[in-house]
């Protein structure tokens, strides 16, 4: 068997060597052709890739051409300065989103611009509206704007027929309501927007009668004009799938001008607005909002680990608010220069 097979094997060995040599030669020739073909085919593509690279570079600000100075780790635009805030501050400010997903945070450092503690409305209100009782507390900025809104409301309607039915609630207050009314009606303690001091419910008192407010008669003035005073209707009709709360014509929330303009004019919920703002960043496009005779620009800064560095304008008035989700919203008033108070706020934030 061995003798018979060995010559054949030898022959096949020679064949294999020849075959391999041929394959190598063919492969080298083919490779030269293919490679040169690929090169000529790919030259324009390589250029295109280069062009893309150039475009990428050009999209980044050129310090020498746009007056932007270079910091070691981050590019600071001209007329901006850095302030550093505790990242826990995302839970405070006029734009905090409080719902079933993002609870109210009761404790914090509270030094985000304009963060305020609720005070007695009765002691600070004017005669153009009433309060249910002395337990009605709201943040001072809310009362200030309620006074302005109801003065205009009474001038329009001739009737001081609205009263504040509910306002700030502590977590303990909410627990009592929850225990009494149940989960179908009351939010879980910690998950009610009333904890913020920026939310309140209105009702009607007329001729000794108390009733729920509805979108009828002169009451429609409120949803039509609330934006001018920084208020929104927090739980609008047809948005229950987003807010988790059925339409509440009586529940208003202070978010401040110009946010109230944008939210009311575009029929948004605060959930949608907070999400939308995240697409406007410091170095990207800012959200421009016209509110009355003023113009504003808004941008979002994500919260960092521990502290967050926020770039704010040096030549314009601004406010900073947490969103209670993951970052900060900077509101720049293009028509106002920083005041001493604003400068102080910035120092506090720093
Ligand atoms: Zn309410």
Looking at the structure, tell me whether residues 207 and 271 fall in a common domain: yes
Looking at the structure, tell me whether residues 206 and 254 fall in a common domain: yes
Looking at the structure, tell me whether residues 134 and 12 fall in a common domain: no
Looking at the structure, tell me whether residues 4 and 121 fall in a common domain: no
| 69 found inside a domain | no
Better-predicted residue by pLDDT, 106 or 181: 181
| 221 found inside a domain | yes
Looking at the structure, tell me whether residues 49 and 93 fall in a common domain: no
Distance 200 CA to ligand 1 centre (A): 5
Average the pLDDT over 293-312 and give the result. 96
Distance 159 CA to ligand 1 centre (A): 23
CA 156 to chain centre: 34
CA 208 to chain centre: 43
Looking at the structure, tell me whether residues 327 and 277 fall in a common domain: yes
| 50 found inside a domain | yes
Distance 92 CA to ligand 1 centre (A): 19
**3-state SS string over 239-307?**
CHHHHCCCCCCCEEEECCCCHHHHHHHCCCCHHHHHHHHCCCECCCCCEEEEECCEEEEEEEEECCCCE
* Domain containing residue 344: 80-349
- Per-residue pLDDT, 95: 97
Does residue 172 carry a catalytic annotation?
A: no
Average the pLDDT over 240-268 and give the result. 97
Looking at the structure, tell me whether residues 187 and 55 fall in a common domain: no
- Per-residue pLDDT, 251: 98
The answer, yes or no, to whether residue 340 has pLDDT greater than 90, is no
Which of 248, 265, 271, 341 is labelled catalytic?
248
| 65 found inside a domain | no
Distance 110 CA to ligand 1 centre (A): 23
- Cβ(194)–Cβ(168) under 8 Å? yes
Distance 38 CA to ligand 1 centre (A): 69
* Domains contained in the chain, number: 2
Q: What is the pLDDT of residues 57-92, one digit of tens each?
A: 334 444 444 444 444 456 777 899 999 999 989 999
- Cβ(285)–Cβ(318) under 8 Å? no
Looking at the structure, tell me whether residues 141 and 102 fall in a common domain: yes
CA dist 49 to 46, 53, 54, 59, 210, Å? 5, 6, 9, 15, 71
Distance 167 CA to ligand 1 centre (A): 7
| 74 found inside a domain | no
| 229 found inside a domain | yes
Looking at the structure, tell me whether residues 30 and 96 fall in a common domain: no
Q: What does pTM read for this prediction?
A: 0.76
| 41 found inside a domain | yes
Better-predicted residue by pLDDT, 106 or 301: 301
Looking at the structure, tell me whether residues 148 and 291 fall in a common domain: yes
């Amino acid at each position: 068997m061995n003798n018979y097979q060995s010559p054949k094997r030898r022959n096949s060995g020679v064949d294999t060597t020849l075959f391999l040599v041929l394959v190598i030669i063919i492969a080298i020739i083919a490779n030269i052709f293919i490679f040169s073909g690929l090169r000529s085919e790919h030259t324009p593509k390589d250029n295109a890739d280069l062009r893309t690279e150039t475009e990428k570079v050009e999209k980044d600000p050129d310090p020498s051409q746009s007056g932007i100075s270079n910091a070691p780790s981050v590019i600071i635009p001209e007329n901006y300065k850095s302030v550093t805030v505790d990242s826990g501050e995302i839970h405070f400010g006029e734009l905090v989103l409080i719902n079933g997903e993002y609870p109210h945070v009761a404790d914090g450092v509270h030094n985000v611009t304009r963060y305020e503690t609720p005070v007695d409305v009765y002691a600070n209100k004017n005669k153009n509206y009433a309060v249910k009782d002395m337990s009605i507390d709201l943040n001072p900025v809310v009362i200030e704007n309620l006074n302005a809104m109801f003065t205009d409301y009474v001038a329009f309607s001739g009737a001081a027929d609205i009263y504040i039915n509910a306002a700030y609630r502590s977590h303990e207050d909410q627990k009592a309501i929850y225990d009494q009314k149940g989960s179908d009606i009351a939010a879980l303690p910690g998950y009610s927007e009333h904890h913020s001091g920026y939310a309140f419910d209105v009702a009607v008192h007329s001729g000794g009668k108390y009733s729920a407010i509805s979108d009828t008669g002169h009451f429609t003035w409120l949803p039509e004009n609330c934006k001018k005073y920084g208020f929104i209707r927090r739980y609008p009709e047809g948005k229950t799938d987003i807010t988790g709360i059925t339409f509440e014509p009586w529940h208003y929330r202070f978010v401040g001008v110009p946010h109230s303009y944008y939210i009311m004019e575009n029929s948004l919920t605060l959930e949608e607005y907070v999400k939308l703002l995240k697409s406007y960043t410091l170095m990207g496009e800012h959200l421009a909002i016209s509110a009355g005779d003023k113009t504003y620009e808004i941008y979002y800064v994500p919260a960092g680990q521990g502290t967050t560095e926020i770039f704010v304008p040096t030549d314009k008035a601004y406010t900073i608010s947490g969103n209670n989700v993951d970052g900060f919203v900077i509101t720049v008033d293009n028509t106002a220069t920083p005041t001493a108070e604003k400068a102080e706020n910035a120092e506090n934030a720093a």
